[in-house]
């Protein structure tokens, strides 16, 4: 489990913490979980059904950045509580963006309580680059009134930039056998 840090230039209204963990990784699925405490004013995108979409980061969204050690290339996964998603490959920091083919769609579930929300994602492992990776786990959290906070394992600059490779700090080993 890792605590994400809110970027100081964009504080939340009520959210107190965002935690991230990989809860499973085998030859079939990468399973990840984000837990938000203080979620009483969380804006959750309406159900839109499965499918690719761009611009998911404009409201509450959960992201993973996967980079093989020693490579400038990386993969970005955008996952929304609306069940929309997208996966992009980059050749270097914010360069050479292309949509990454996926063998099937990720499965996403959002559970809301009065003060806690949990977002779970199951991503088809066959659609991901070969592990091991350096991982950047992030979240864009929108609360009522248009308040947006940007959460990551670490932040590298004065403005939030989830593509900053210095933020890809979580080491993820190759998957276990299915």
Spacing of C-alpha 171 from chain mean position:
15
Contact 39, 17 (CB under 8 A): no
Mean pLDDT to the nearest integer, 120-130:
97
pLDDT tens readout for residues 147-174? 999 999 999 889 999 999 999 999 999 9
Residue 175 has pLDDT above 90, yes or no: no
| 2-172: in CATH 3.90.1150.60 | no
Contact 68, 129 (CB under 8 A): yes
pLDDT tens readout for residues 24-78? 999 999 999 999 999 999 999 999 999 999 999 999 999 999 999 999 999 999 9
Domain boundaries, the chain: 2-172
């Amino acid at each position: 489990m890792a605590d994400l840090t809110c970027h100081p230039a964009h504080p939340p209204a009520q959210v107190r913490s965002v935690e991230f963990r990989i809860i499973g990784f085998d030859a079939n699925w990468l399973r990840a979980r984000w837990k938000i405490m203080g979620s009483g004013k969380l804006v959750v995108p309406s159900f839109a059904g499965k499918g690719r979409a761009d611009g998911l980061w404009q409201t509450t969204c959960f992201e993973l950045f996967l980079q093989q050690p020693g490579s400038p290339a990386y993969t970005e996964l955008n996952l929304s509580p609306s069940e929309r998603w997208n996966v992009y490959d980059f050749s270097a920091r914010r360069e050479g963006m292309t949509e990454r083919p996926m063998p099937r769609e990720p499965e996403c579930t959002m559970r809301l309580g009065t003060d806690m929300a949990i977002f779970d994602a199951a991503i088809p492992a066959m659609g991901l680059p070969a592990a091991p990776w350096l991982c950047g786990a992030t979240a864009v959290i929108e609360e009522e009134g248009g308040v947006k906070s940007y959460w990551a394992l670490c932040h590298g600059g004065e403005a939030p930039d989830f593509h900053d490779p210095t933020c890809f700090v979580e080491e993820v080993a190759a998957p276990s056998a299915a």
